[in-house]
Every structure is written in C-alpha cells, then in structure tokens.
Structure 1
Amino acid sequence: MDIITGDIGGTNARLALCRIGANDIEIVTQTTYPSGEYASLEKIVKTFSENLESEPDAACFGLPCPITGGVCNTTNLPWKISQKRLQNTLGGTETHLINDLEALAWGIGGLSQSDFLTLQEGNGDGAGNAMVIAAGTGLGQAGLYWDGDVHLPFATEGGHCDFAPADELQIELLRFAQRKHQHVSWERLVSGPGLATIYDFMLEYRDVPAPDWFEELKEGDDVAEIVSTKAIQEVDDLYTEAVGLFIRLLGTEAGNQALKMKATGGVFIGGGIAPKMLDWIQMPFFMEAFLSKGRMRPLLEQMPVHVITTNNTALLGAAIYQQSI
C-alpha cells in the first residue's frame, strides 16, 4: 500500500511517498518545499504527485492547525486547507487531514531506540499517558492516551495557552512581548520566531546595541538558527543568555504539559529546533526547569524524557494513522 504523507510546517512542507509492507513502513521518496513560496497546499501536492511513477492508494497530511469538518486555516501560513480539495487534486484518492503534532505522536511507535536521545530514564514501563511537544515555526503539543494496551494520539492546541513568567527576568520578557502581541502565548516565545523575540528582548534589557546582521534582517531569514549558532560558537554572552532562556522556557512548558497529561508513559521533545540544540538541551537547566514543579517534582522524576532526533517521524506517523483507520 502506497500512501502520500505530508508534514506541513510554517517554514517547510515535507511530502513523502510511504510504502507499507508486512512488517515495516518504507519512505520511497520525499521532497521538501518552502511553504511561503506557494499560494496553497494543493499546488505543492500537485507538484509532488505529478512526479510519482504510480498512483497512491491514499494520502494523509499533518497540518499545523486545528481541523474541523475536514477544513482548517493554518496558524502560521495564509492557507485555507480543505480535505475535499486535496482529494480532488489527487484525482479522488482517499485523503485525510490530521494535526501535525498528532501525526508526530502516531510516528513515535514507528521509531527505534537510535532515534531518541534520552534525558531522563524515569522508572516507568511505558504504560500510562504520554505527550509530545515540538518547537519549530510554532509550538505544537499532542497527547497519547493509554487505553491499557496501546497509546492513542490526540491533538491539542496547548501551545497557544497563556505564557506564565516564573521570575523577574521572565516578567520583563512578558511585558516586552505584550508590546508586540495582543496575546502572549507559549508559542510566541518557545518557537523559532520566539527565540528571535527573546534575543530582541535581551538587547533591550541589557541595553546593548543591535548587531548589524539583526538590523539588516530580511523576511524569511532564520533568526533562530543564527542566534543559536552564534550561541554555540560563544560569540558573546548575550547570545548564550538568550538561548539559555529559550531552553529553560521549553523545559518549563514541557513540564507543564507533562503534568496536565500525567505523562508517566513518556515525554517526547520533537520539532525542528530541538535536534539542532542537543548540546543545550543536555545541559542541567532544561531538566531543572522541567522538574521545577514544587510538590509534583517526584511525579515528574518518574517520567521518561526523550528528544526525537530523526526528522521523518510525522511523515511515518501520517502513514501509520492512515493504516489504522
């Protein structure tokens, strides 16, 4: 069975042809498209499908938005996506839409141990609810309900909940972000654009002139990658401070979500940013922020915490979901 799958993000749309065999799922071919250069997802899907050698049996796309009635408006793209239109684009091929983090959650079961970096072993046996949180262009979150035998993924929009500062520095960050955004969610700070906001805040907070590259930014420049690279290279303390704060906030919100899900079955950190910051995430302040929940610290210490290091998880997850229905 051949399935077109999509992992659609605000920066990139990744499409693949997955072949489901008796015991495994193989990615036959995949292509990455810059999302912002296309007027619609249908145009990307049409381009991808026209280059396939055979007709797919089905299609499933993971989308960065809440989906209702087979329709959604993407949060970080000016697209309105319709299951019916995509199905027509594919000549009537059976097509399904799911949330991108739901697709990521479905894909976890198709990974091997080598696809994870373990930050905390925990003391569970995999039973119990699990969760996934992923920072990229936005901040996605999903849950995996434990039914006694298997994990069943479900979508959430938890990344859009109110940001809650934990100390004086973060209170000032909130005030800074409120000048830019009417509503400051976790996504506004724990994402690629969020890291840019944090760096901009640190420039003001430390009363440091903006560097030339920051003043000369063009639309589409990956500020998060620039800041994180300079921090890794230890260009100066401001980059390091900005990335350190970003990692603490990611750890804090991962801990918040873990408590809400009671994720004794596992906490999984995904997205495009985490694999690029493995050295930072392995530093003590990520797990300390995750665990810093007062009387609930012992519960959090029981939870296995893993970083997903492969970038194909959501593509596989869309295929696993399609196979399951």
Structure 2
Amino acid sequence: MSRVLAGDVGGTKTVLAIYKAEKGELAEICKAIYPSGKHSCFEDLIAEFLGEDSSIDCAAFGIAGPIKNQCCVTTNLPWTIDAKTIQQTFNIEKVHLLNDLESAAYGILQLDSFHELNPNAIEQSGHIAVIAAGTGLGEAILFFDGEQHHAMPTEGGHCEFAPQNEFEDHLLLFLRQRFQGHVSIERLLSGDGFGNIYDFLKSIEFAKSDMELEKRMQSEDRNALISQTALEDHDLLCSQALKMFCRIYGAEAGNLALKTLPLGGVYIAGGIAPKIKQAMKDGLFMEGFLDKGRMRHAIEQIPVRIVDNPEAPLLGAAYFASQRIK
C-alpha cells in the first residue's frame, strides 16, 4: 500500500487530501479545505494539513496557473509553488505540479456519473476533449495511445470568438469596441461572459431593462444574478443572455471536437455548467455544437457530457500521483 498527497489549489480555496493507493484503486484517508489567502505560502498550508504525518510516497497538485519547469507563480495568489522545494521540505520522493485543467482531465477518468447532452452519442474508446468555463475558460485534451490517456493542457480559451450567425456578428463588433481589438472566446465563456452578453443586448435594446434588477447588480455578483434570473425566467434580457451563452458554449465545444476528434467524448467541466445544467439540456448547446456545416457528420455521434463532480481536479491529481509510484 502506498500513500499519495493530492491537492486542488485555487485562488479562493485549496483542497488537500491523502489517499491510499493499492492495485490501481484510490481510497480517501482524510481531506481538508482551506481558505487560500490566509496562508503566506503553500508550504505552510501543507505543513498544517500533514502535521506529524510525513509518510507520503508521492504528491501531485492541480494549480490555477501556468506550470513551467515544475514551478508555478499562481494566478490569483501571492504564491510561488515549486515542486523541488516541496519535495525537500516534506521529504516526499516525487512531487508533481499540474495545471488545474490538466488535473481535472485526469479526474474525469475516475468518474462514472455524467449528464449526457447528445441523444445520438455512441460510446467509443479514443481521445477525450475537456472544456471548462468558470472564472476563465480552460481547454485540454486527453490523448489516447491505445492503452492509456495522457493529458495535454492548452490555452484554447484565448483563441478568437467566432460568430455563427449575423446576431453574433454584432455581438463580436460590440465586444471588439469594448476590449479594443482581440476578443477571445473566454470573454464570453466565463463568469464575466454573462455580463458582456447582457450589456450587448441592452445596447441594442433587445428588451426593456428591469430597473430593480439593475439596482441589485450594483451590490450583488452581477454575473451570477444574470444567470440565476434567467433560470427563473424573470427577465427577457437575462433569459436571452443565457440562451446565447449556451449556444456559444456549444459552438466552442464543437470547435474543440473538430480539432481533436475525441471519440471518447467531450466533457464539460468547470463551475458554470452544473449551475446552468437545465438550460444546457434545452437544446441550444447541442445546436451550437453541431452547427458545423458539411463537417457536422464528424462529430454528431460523439458523447457530450456535463461533469458535475467538483472533486474532479483533486481526484485527477491523486490519480496522477498514484501512477508515478514505483
């Protein structure tokens, strides 16, 4: 039996857990959640979690930030996380840093419960594509070599937004003025995307804005308020913003599918999808996904699934660590 330390490191919270790894199976021993900002460095947080327990064979951490030479300057924290420093400080033989979406991709391999969006899906083995809208937009690929999957992180969320119709053409022009040039798909498929789409609809007077709702936006989380109001179908502007979000999300997932031909499926991870699951199941997401002209046939039977287990990145880090034990 081996013991692995796994972590999901985010700007708001960090989750650490110890797992027992035996015969390819993982069993959780203990887990704790910490507010990230209350610790001056990542090593202090690990020390608090481990206490006197130092019998760790391998560790892996999924981190919100770019990994270079097994070192990461975190995106939303004043931390520099270095694998070698952790290795030496805690006497752990192997320590690995992963991009958070890379660890989420590996985590998907450990899950067996999803929400299927494609009624024509056919179960097959092959590459897997992962797209995750949350604070930003992440995209990753799980390359299948015939026996195992290998995660490949990308910066696909920073590719250009590509409109699919004339209405979306006007949305692009609006955002190009707002952001003075380049408009990445992340400007739409992220938490801030709801506000950007709402502002566009308001600018063209798609519907009359609700003054009471606008007032609440001054003191509440604007993007969450827009999506929640849309789900309750209480406001035309919010409802249309959510519909456009779902269709554009589907279109980008379809773009990723065309680029990677993931016969193993496209998995929709991140914090937003579970919250708007019902809207995504209403058809607009798949409409955008399949709107690929003469290449529709290439992706119309690919499974398209919502991942609603928030522990996917943690499980992915644990899996990655367990595979690297001698």
Determine helix, strand or coil for the equivalent of 1:13: strand
With over 3 angstroms needed to count, the CA separation of the structure-2 counterparts of 1:228 and 1:287, relative to structure 1, is same
Pair 1:226 & 2:225 matched: yes
> How many Å separate the matches in 1 of 2:178 and 2:32?
35
The match for 1:150 among 148, 151, 175 is 148
Check conservation: 2:54, 2:90, Cα contact below 8 A: no
* CA shift for structure 1 position 62: 1.0
1:292-314 residue CA offsets vs partner (Å, 9 max, x unmatched): 01111111112111111211111
* CA shift for structure 1 position 89: 5.0
> How many Å separate the matches in 2 of 1:71 and 1:248?
37
The residue type paired with residue 162 of structure 1 is E
Give the superposed CA RMSD.
2.5
* CA shift for structure 1 position 235: 1.9
* CA shift for structure 1 position 79: 4.3
* CA shift for structure 1 position 10: 4.0
Check conservation: 2:4, 2:322, Cα contact below 8 A: no
Check conservation: 1:76, 1:137, Cα contact below 8 A: no
Aligned to 1:2: 3
* CA shift for structure 1 position 286: 0.5
With over 3 angstroms needed to count, the CA separation of the structure-2 counterparts of 1:199 and 1:67, relative to structure 1, is same
Aligned to 1:245: 244
* CA shift for structure 1 position 35: 4.2
Check conservation: 1:121, 1:303, Cα contact below 8 A: no
Number of residue pairs the alignment of both structures matches: 318
1:305-320 alignment to 2 at 5 Å? 305-320=304-319
Aligned to 2:215: 212
The residue type paired with residue 157 of structure 1 is E
The match for 1:116 among 82, 90, 114 is 114
The match for 2:133 among 125, 132, 135 is 135
1:135-284 alignment to 2 at 5 Å? 135-181=133-179, 183-206=182-205, 208=209, 211-217=214-220, 221=221, 223-284=222-283
With over 3 angstroms needed to count, the CA separation of the structure-2 counterparts of 1:121 and 1:166, relative to structure 1, is closer
Pair 1:21 & 2:30 matched: no
> How many Å separate the matches in 2 of 1:225 and 1:36?
23
Task: Please tell me whether Structure 1 or Structure 2 has the larger radius of gyration of its CA atoms.
Answer: 2
Aligned to 1:97: 97
Aligned to 2:46: 45
> How many Å separate the matches in 1 of 2:177 and 2:33?
35
Aligned to 1:302: 301
> How many Å separate the matches in 1 of 2:42 and 2:176?
32
1:198-218 residue CA offsets vs partner (Å, 9 max, x unmatched): 23333333273571121234x
With over 3 angstroms needed to count, the CA separation of the structure-2 counterparts of 1:43 and 1:269, relative to structure 1, is same
Give unmatched runs, 5+ long, in structure 2.
Answer: none
The residue type paired with residue 83 of structure 1 is A
Aligned to 1:31: 32
Moved more, 71-80 or 19-28: 71-80
* CA shift for structure 1 position 54: 5.6
> How many Å separate the matches in 1 of 2:171 and 2:49?
42
Moved more, 230-239 or 249-258: 230-239
Check conservation: 1:122, 1:305, Cα contact below 8 A: no
> How many Å separate the matches in 1 of 2:275 and 2:121?
28
The residue type paired with residue 19 of structure 1 is K
> How many Å separate the matches in 2 of 1:241 and 1:73?
38
The residue type paired with residue 65 of structure 2 is C
With over 3 angstroms needed to count, the CA separation of the structure-2 counterparts of 1:45 and 1:165, relative to structure 1, is farther
Q: If the length of structure 1 is used for normalisation, what is the TM-score?
A: 0.87
Pair 1:60 & 2:63 matched: no
1:163-207 residue CA offsets vs partner (Å, 9 max, x unmatched): 222233323333333344354211222011222332333333327
Moved more, 147-156 or 241-250: 147-156
* CA shift for structure 1 position 47: 3.7
With over 3 angstroms needed to count, the CA separation of the structure-2 counterparts of 1:244 and 1:125, relative to structure 1, is closer
Determine helix, strand or coil for the equivalent of 2:20: strand
Check conservation: 2:6, 2:321, Cα contact below 8 A: no
> How many Å separate the matches in 2 of 1:89 and 1:11?
24
1:123-166 residue CA offsets vs partner (Å, 9 max, x unmatched): 54422221111111111111111212232222111111122222
Give unmatched runs, 5+ long, in structure 1.
Answer: none
Determine helix, strand or coil for the equivalent of 2:186: coil
Moved more, 240-249 or 169-178: 169-178
1:34-60 residue CA offsets vs partner (Å, 9 max, x unmatched): 44565544444344334x756433221
